[in-house]
Structure 1
Amino acid sequence: MKILHVVDKMDPTRGGVCQAIRTLIKGFQEQHIHNEVVSTDIPDAAIDFRDSFPLHKMGETVNPWSYSKKIKSWLASNIRRFDVVIVHGLWQYPQYVCYRQKLSMDQDCKIRFYLMPHGMLDPYFQQAPERKLKALRNILYWSLIEKKVVNTLDGILFTCEEELELAHHSFKGYSPKQELVVGLGVEQPPAFTSSMRGAFAALCPVPKDKPYFLFLSRIHEKKGVDLLIKAYARLFNETNQSLPLLIIAGPGKDSDYGTQLIRLVREKHLEEHVLFPGMLTGLSKWGAFYGCEAFILPSHQENFGIAVVEALACGKAVLISEQINIWKEIVRGAGGFAEHDDPEGTYLLLKKWITSSIETKSQMQTNALRTYEDLFRVSVTTHRFLNLIIPTTA
């Protein structure tokens, strides 16, 4: 069996969809399935992709639609080598050209075309106040093009039930041929070593044995970091300063929003208790995960939340908003708490944790790891994914 993945960009620094595709492919490769990717990345870019699969880079596009004449001709010449085409994301030319390619195929062609939106049909993107112009653009684009793409391809692939349900509430005329919840996995993290602790300490010198909450994600308005700092400050005052530290790690510290957050920390006199180590990768990232007391992400929208699942895989309870689409699975598995993405909800996440007994916290850590192993291990999600798409390709 051969699968072709079509996507706008595979630059590994982008994370998100790119990381999801790489994780999917790793799982498929373990099942001896051949994978290739075609994208609009620059062929000679100074980016170390280090991929174990063929990546066909069609060249950087200079237009917001990511139009590429080369990707169209490449698909026309190569599409029949594959059994399944998975089109990742929305709102770009690569999705449209796959739709046109499907229309051009013979009636007896057995190649199946699936669309994996990766949360891009979430109504959040149409309702967020800061996205009014983009929301209007999406409505126009939906009526002219994207509705045809969604309703013509052979099926829509979702990472969880919540994503599927939300997709019904964004646009009129949404009527895909098939909806499949295929899931998404996260690779098992490396076993803890003292070098991980050292790598993290080099970037974020936390006092020895001092517990800390970990936020590890992009520092952006969507992630609710301002809510987190304000909730932490409120609880800090209520508990007479007997709180774990708060580590806010990730890119974006030097953005306008990041600067506002640092100013907020100063105004709350929390400079010694809220730390911004910047982006953590490799050993330092795993050191941060393994060393934290709990992971927290009060995001306003998260289709899956790879960092959330990485925390589970490290045996750490997660404190998340109900706008992270896998929150029901996590609460059902008792691997964490979930509340609304507002000031009170974020405060409750922290309050629930610090008022829980040692026994409850310990059990929640155990449940977190079990939730990962039962639902989000790559081997588990790969089997589910293939069982859903292989019968339709026979």
Structure 2
Amino acid sequence: MKVLHVISSLSLEGGGPAQGVRNLTSFYASMNVSPTVLTLDDKDDSLGNTDHLEVIRLGKGKGIFSYHPELVEWLKRHSHEYNSVVVHGLWQYHGYAVYKALKKSNIPYYVFPHGMLDPWFKHAYPLKHLKKYIYWFLAQYSVLKNSKAVLFTCEEEKLLARESFWPYRVNESVVNYGTTITEIAKNSKSDDFYTKYPELKNKIIFLFLSRIHEKKGCDLLIQAFAKIAKSNSDLHLVMAGPDQTGWQADLEKIADDYCIADRITWTGMIKNEMKWGAIKAAEVFILPSHQENFGISVAEALAVGTPVLISSKVNIWREIKEMNAGLVGDDTLEGTQKLLQAWLDLSENEKQIIKQNTVACYKQKFDISQAAKNLIELIRIN
């Protein structure tokens, strides 16, 4: 069986969906499935390791919707080569192109919204939401309604998606999601991180590992950390991730105002051994997001035994709480401060119990091999 995945970009700097495609398809070979990814990346764009994939790059799309004049025709010419098509993400041209190219064919397609139907966006960006409503009526609703299934990563995402737009009549399916532990992840050590940042070796590291973006609650984290940092001079915050909106300068100003600039290390985007070394060096991973569909980095932290501190707006918070693999708080300044303080107030025995639960939580809830099986079984049934 051959499955075509269509995504606007496979670059890891674009966030979770690109990593999710890699993780999901890494298990296809064991199920006799051949994966291909069609992407609007240029031939010289750095995409990292894609050895298990056939990657077809059409080149950059135009404008905010990434319109590509050759996409529909390419799909019409080649779609018969695949048993099904999986679209990743909403609000861009590639999803509409799949709908347009396949609506008169017998090739089914599926859509992963990747959290892009979360009602948080409606409240946080009302003007953008109004513009999206126009696109919803013009194209996006038809893309979803005519798909074989809209694929959700957890029950929470499915329920929240119903609150964003009307009309909303789609075939819902929860296939789960997660990550996979590569040989690099298994073999990396905290020293892979300390080699570059030796001054942090004896620090108690709180690690943020995600995009520097407003929805991630970075400002809350810095302010909350400033309030609890005075309790222990060994506490240190590592902010690891790409700054795609230019917000880091404002965040650094906040740190200066709170006189904790020297207690924060900004690494930019980190990959491979450096990334996994940072996760293993951290006492805890923290993500106080205002909206997070899944949070692959949360699952990655759990997989290598690092407890997680997350907001209740990270859609997998129930699973974390159920398995006692971390702590959950509100996505407010007060909530973030309480979250950090709650960890510090735990006894060493209580911290060890949570740490011991992390890997079990990953294996039971977030091992993406099961998500891959769920997806392929759904495709085969249909």
Instruction: Provide TM-score, normalisation by structure 1.
Output: 0.91
Cα gap change, 1:14 to 1:72, in 2 (>3 Å): same
Q: Does 1:113 align with 2:103?
A: no
Shift of 1:121: 0.7
Structure 1, residues 91-129: CA drift from partner, whole Å, max 9, x if none? Answer: 122111221233212xxx3x321111111111122211x
C-alpha distance in structure 2 between counterparts of 1:141 and 1:207, whole Å:
48
Aligned to 1:351: 341
Equivalence map 1:38-49=2 (5 Å): 38-42=38-42, 44-49=43-48
Q: Secondary structure at the match of 1:337?
A: strand
Q: Does 1:368 align with 2:367?
A: no
Structure 1, residues 150-173: CA drift from partner, whole Å, max 9, x if none? Answer: 111111001111110110000011
C-alpha distance in structure 2 between counterparts of 1:27 and 1:192, whole Å:
17
C-alpha distance in structure 2 between counterparts of 1:252 and 1:65, whole Å:
21
Aligned to 1:261: 251
Counterpart contact for 1:374–1:380, Cα < 8 Å: no
Please point out which of 131, 134, 145 is paired with 1:137. Answer: 131
Aligned to 1:182: 175
Aligned to 2:319: 329
Cα gap change, 1:25 to 1:74, in 2 (>3 Å): same
Q: Which amino acid aligns with 1:92?
A: Q
C-alpha distance in structure 2 between counterparts of 1:287 and 1:39, whole Å:
30
Counterpart contact for 1:203–1:277, Cα < 8 Å: no
Cα gap change, 1:46 to 1:323, in 2 (>3 Å): closer
Moved more, 184-193 or 368-377: 184-193
Shift of 1:185: 2.3
Shift of 1:216: 1.2
Aligned to 1:223: 216
Please point out which of 241, 248, 252 is paired with 2:243. Answer: 252
Shift of 1:32: 2.0
Counterpart contact for 1:8–1:94, Cα < 8 Å: yes
Cα gap change, 1:162 to 1:332, in 2 (>3 Å): same
C-alpha distance in structure 1 between counterparts of 2:86 and 2:357, whole Å:
33
Q: Which amino acid aligns with 2:301?
A: A
Cα gap change, 1:30 to 1:15, in 2 (>3 Å): farther
C-alpha distance in structure 1 between counterparts of 2:46 and 2:236, whole Å:
35
Instruction: Provide TM-score, normalisation by structure 2.
Output: 0.93
Counterpart contact for 1:39–1:71, Cα < 8 Å: no
Cα gap change, 1:66 to 1:260, in 2 (>3 Å): closer
C-alpha distance in structure 2 between counterparts of 1:247 and 1:350, whole Å:
14
Q: Secondary structure at the match of 2:346?
A: coil
Structure 1, residues 353-390: CA drift from partner, whole Å, max 9, x if none? Answer: 11111111111011111000111113222223333332
Structure 1, residues 15-65: CA drift from partner, whole Å, max 9, x if none? Answer: 3211111111112223220111222222x3253554232222222222322
Shift of 1:232: 1.5
Unmatched 5+ residue regions in structure 2?
none
Equivalence map 1:272-311=2 (5 Å): 272-311=262-301
Q: Does 1:15 align with 2:15?
A: yes
Counterpart contact for 1:7–1:40, Cα < 8 Å: yes
Q: Does 1:168 align with 2:167?
A: no
State the superposition RMSD in angstroms.
1.9
C-alpha distance in structure 2 between counterparts of 1:11 and 1:113, whole Å:
23
Aligned to 1:31: 31
C-alpha distance in structure 2 between counterparts of 1:248 and 1:69, whole Å:
39
Q: Secondary structure at the match of 1:206?
A: helix
Aligned to 1:100: 100
Counterpart contact for 1:215–1:295, Cα < 8 Å: yes
Shift of 1:291: 1.2
Q: Structure 1 vs Structure 2: percent identity of aligned residues?
A: 37
C-alpha distance in structure 2 between counterparts of 1:141 and 1:40, whole Å:
20
Cα gap change, 1:142 to 1:307, in 2 (>3 Å): same
